[in-house]
């Protein structure tokens, strides 16, 4: 099996990998050590200056990061709970099962940006139908301009948009479960509720972990929803990391600084997702 | 507490899975449901367990309408032919599962689980994962799980069928011990099987089921000695009983040019269309016997099964030793005709060497 040209066959794959992953990462690292901005576009070398600024003099980045953590964890938990409930519902033999299965997937098939524009119209404080309905009760929440409520508006839109994806993964998981343990559990005296707690949920643990991690990675990139819905406002109250990096890099053209933020963000995400995956595995799989 | 069923019928497609099945099972007894695959055995057990609802008929247990009781409140235990356990739990947790559902004390659970582990010979395996066990061990776990509950009704659905020969022998022996040394006197034990040998060994009350219908009910001995019809004779013998179309006249049984003197219990039968039934073990090789041609010889364990042919008559002979035959070899056999059964044209028992007539004994 040891022949001369074996590395030659690895080359196409390696070439693509270098082109789209390894080079960009190395370039970002190099960029982060430069002062590239609109006045001074060029790969000069300023050492760790950008990182020192990020860690000592930029509370806005860290605020946006913790906001992002809150938003992504909350949306993913909600998506998981709702997605599981919906999947469980259409897993059993109910009427119009196929209809509901398709219906629940519809949000995922829509274009997120366009749907967010529609949601923005929905939640418009003086013209939107939501407040129009709520005016019956004499309330008119500031869906998009209150710093606290705006966060929940983002959460609602995110959950609506991405629960179907969770639903899809969990339904596939439920359908792949062996039927036998459920027969055994019924005979062993487990009521439907206990059957869910002691059989369905533990059997679904590996799939749940996968689904949650996939969604967490996706959710930690929340950007389009915020961009269209609130533009990070009011103030910076719905600004997320990716949105802030986008502002710094592609609006203010502080490329060097944005690169250092991106790289820091990447490292933090890798570490925290690894920890989350480990913890979930420990808790759900008891391993 | 009796388990009584009246006219249970279940017909999910164009075939009856259960057809007017009635029975009266008494506590402290072992019942064996004997039938071929697809005869409705599993359907019947699932109906008792509550996993299926029959189209019509009723089940009563302890004077209550059992069909109204949800599965998880029925106090039934079941062992399936596919070794069903909980894949996400270890051996100990698997066995403890039914007890946990009853919210028992941890220390009581522990004692019971250990007892059950001991009775199925799996002490020391508590921490093992189910997937790490062999098929036989997995089936023991599910047996332990069903024993630990002290259920009033214990259902065993062909528990040995998916095991290899050695293990089957061994577990069958263990079953016998378990059953005889007293599952509590108030348990109703229902065991389904396709294997007549298992039925005879377990020696309980036998219900012969075919196409969802009960064909005969009786002790293992009764079924063996006086099968009430051709069908029962086929189902309750492995290999199935040989059926030979013959004529009886002048005290002679005649078929394929063979003339055998009719034994006393067959001599009075003269009607047309008689079929003579003879077990494969009641035919022996004999130098002075009738000549047949070998169609197939299969060796199973320490037995040789000879499929023989003469004219249109095909028979199977089982010989208690390993012999080698070639196809188209000629062999000479002797019929132990005094052990022959006779069935009349519509398949009912006409005469049996054990004295039963029409199976009404």
CB atoms A194 and B101 under 8 Å: yes
Asked if the Cβ–Cβ distance from B75 to A189 is below 8 Å, we say yes
Are residues A180 and B142, on separate chains, in Cβ contact within 8 Å?
no
What pLDDT digit, counting tens, does each position of A126-158 carry?
888 998 888 888 888 888 888 899 999 999 999
Chain A residue nearest residue B96, CA to CA: A188
Instruction: Calculate the average pLDDT of chain A.
Output: 90
pLDDT over 70 percentage in chain A? 99
SS (HEC) of chain B: CCEEEEEEEECCCCCCCEEEEEEEECCCCEEEEECCCCCCHHHHHHHHHCCCCCCEEEEEECCEEHHHCCHHHCCEEEECCCCCCCCCCEHHHHHHHHHHHCCCCHHHHHHHHHHHHHHCCCCCCCCCEHHHCCHHHHHHHHHHHHHCCCCCEEEEECCCCCCCHHHHHHHHHHHHHHHHCCCCCCCEEEEEECCHHHHHHHCCEEEEEECCEEEEEEEHHHHHHCCCEHHHHHHCCCCCCEEEECEEECCEEEECCEEEECCHHHHCCCCCCCEEEECHHHEEEEEEEEEEEEEEEEEECCEEEEEEEECCEEEEEEECCCCCCCCCCEEEEEECHHHCEEECCCCEEEECCCCCCCCCC
- Token couple for A26: 């190395």
Q: How far apart are CA B42 and CA A87, in angstroms?
A: 30
Residue A171: per-residue pLDDT: 94
pLDDT in tens, chain B (361 residues): 789 898 999 998 888 889 999 999 988 888 999 998 888 898 999 999 888 889 999 999 888 888 888 888 888 888 888 888 888 888 999 999 989 888 888 888 999 899 888 878 888 888 888 888 888 888 888 888 888 888 888 899 988 887 777 777 777 877 777 777 665 567 888 999 998 888 888 888 999 999 989 999 999 889 988 898 888 998 888 888 898 888 888 788 888 888 888 888 887 777 778 888 999 889 988 888 888 889 988 888 788 888 998 888 888 998 888 888 888 888 888 888 888 888 888 888 888 888 755 433 3
Would you list the domain boundaries of chain A?
Answer: 60-285
Using CA atoms, how far apart are residues B339 and B200, in angstroms rounded to an integer? Answer: 19
By Cβ distance, the residue of B78, B82, B100 closest to A187 is B78
Q: Which pLDDT band holds residue A247 (cuts at 50, 70, 90)?
A: very high
Q: Which residue of B87, B146, B159, B190 to mutate against A (max A Cβ within 10 Å)?
A: B87
Side-chain half-sphere exposure of B129, counting CA atoms within 13 A: 6
Q: Which of B76, B85, B87 is facing A187, going by the closest CB pair?
A: B76
DSSP 3-state assignment of A141?
coil
Residue of A nearest to B148 (CA): A188
| pLDDT score for B216 | 92
What's the CATH number for A60-285? Answer: 1.10.3720.10
Predicted local confidence at residue A62, as pLDDT: 93
Q: What pLDDT score does A1 carry?
A: 58
pLDDT band at residue A83 using 50, 70 and 90 as cut-offs: very high
* Inter-chain touch A183–B142, beta carbons under 8 Å: no
Q: Is the ipTM of this complex over 0.90?
A: no
Residue B185's φ and ψ, nearest 5 degrees, are: -65, -20
Q: Which domains does chain B have, with CATH numbers?
A: 3-229 (3.40.50.300), 242-351 (2.40.50.140)
CB pair distance less than 8 Å for B101 and A181: no
- Check B84 against A181: CB less than 8 A apart: yes
Mutate one of B97, B112, B142 to test the A interface: name it (highest A CB count within 10 A).
B97
What is the tens place of the pLDDT at every residue in A174-212?
999 988 888 888 888 888 888 899 899 999 999 999 999
A interface test, pick of B50, B70, B71 with most A CB neighbours within 10 Å = B71
């Amino acid at each position: 099996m040891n022949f001369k040209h074996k590395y030659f066959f690895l080359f196409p794959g390696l070439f693509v990998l270098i082109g789209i992953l390894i080079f960009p990462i190395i370039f970002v690292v190099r960029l982060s050590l430069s002062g590239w901005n609109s006045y001074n576009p060029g790969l000069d070398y300023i050492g760790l200056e950008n990182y020192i600024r990020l860690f000592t003099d930029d509370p806005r980045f860290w605020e946006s990061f913790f906001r992002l953590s809150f938003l992504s964890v909350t949306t993913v938990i909600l998506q998981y709970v709702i997605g599981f409930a919906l999947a469980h519902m259409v897993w059993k033999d109910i009427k119009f099962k196929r209809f509901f299965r398709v219906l629940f997937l519809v949000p995922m098939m829509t274009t997120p940006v366009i749907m967010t524009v529609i949601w923005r119209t929905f939640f418009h404080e003086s013209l939107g139908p939501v407040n129009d309905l709520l005016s019956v009760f004499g309330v008119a929440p500031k869906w998009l301009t209150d710093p606290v409520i705006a966060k929940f508006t983002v959460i609602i839109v995110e959950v609506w948009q991405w629960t179907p994806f969770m639903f899809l993964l969990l339904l596939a998981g439920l359908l792949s479960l062996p039927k036998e343990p459920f027969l055994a559990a019924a005979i062993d005296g487990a009521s439907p509720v206990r059957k869910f707690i002691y059989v369905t949920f533990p059997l679904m643990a590996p799939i749940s972990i996968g689904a949650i991690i996939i969604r967490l990675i996706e959710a930690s990139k929340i950007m389009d929803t915020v961009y269209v819905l609130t533009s990070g406002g009011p103030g910076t109250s719905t600004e997320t990391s990716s949105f802030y990096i986008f502002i710094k890099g592609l609006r203010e053209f502080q490329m060097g600084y944005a690169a250092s933020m991106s790289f820091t963000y990447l490292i933090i995400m890798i570490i925290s997702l690894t920890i989350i995956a480990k913890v979930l595995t420990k808790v759900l799989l008891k391993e | 507490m009796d388990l009584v069923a009246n006219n249970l019928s279940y017909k999910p497609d164009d075939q009856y899975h259960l057809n007017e099945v009635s029975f009266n099972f008494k506590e402290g007894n072992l019942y064996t449901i004997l039938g071929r695959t697809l005869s409705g055995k599993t359907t019947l057990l699932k109906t008792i367990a509550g996993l299926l609802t029959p189209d019509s008929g009723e089940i009563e247990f302890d004077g209550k309408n059992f069909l109204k009781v949800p599965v998880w409140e029925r106090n039934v235990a079941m062992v399936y032919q596919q070794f069903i356990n909980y894949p996400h739990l270890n051996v100990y947790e698997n066995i403890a599962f039914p007890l946990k559902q009853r919210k028992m004390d941890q220390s009581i659970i522990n004692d019971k689980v250990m007892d059950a582990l001991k009775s199925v010979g799996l002490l020391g395996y508590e921490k093992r994962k189910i997937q790490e066990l062999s098929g036989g061990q997995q089936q023991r776990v599910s047996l332990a799980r069903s024993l630990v509950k002290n259920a009033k009704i214990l259902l065993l659905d062909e528990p040995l069928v998916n095991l290899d020969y050695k293990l089957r022998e061994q577990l069958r022996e263990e079953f016998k011990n378990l059953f005889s040394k007293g599952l509590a006197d108030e348990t109703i034990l229902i065991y389904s099987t396709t294997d007549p040998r298992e039925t005879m060994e377990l020696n309980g009350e036998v219900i012969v089921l075919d196409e969802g219908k009960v064909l005969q009910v009786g002790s293992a001995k009764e079924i063996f000695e006086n099968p009430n019809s051709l069908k029962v004779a086929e189902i309750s013998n492995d290999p199935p009983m040989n059926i030979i179309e013959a004529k009886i006249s002048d005290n002679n049984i005649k078929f394929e040019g063979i003339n055998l003197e009719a034994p006393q219990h067959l001599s009075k039968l003269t009607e047309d269309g008689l079929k003579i039934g003879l077990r494969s073990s009641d035919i022996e090789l004999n130098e002075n016997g009738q000549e047949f041609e070998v169609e197939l010889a299969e060796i199973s364990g320490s037995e040789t099964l000879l499929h023989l042919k003469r004219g249109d008559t095909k028979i199977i002979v089982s010989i208690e030793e390993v012999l080698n035959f070639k196809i188209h070899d000629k062999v000479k056999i002797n019929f132990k005709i005094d052990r022959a059964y006779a069935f009349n044209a519509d398949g009912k028992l006409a005469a049996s060497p054990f004295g039963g007539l029409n199976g009404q004994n």
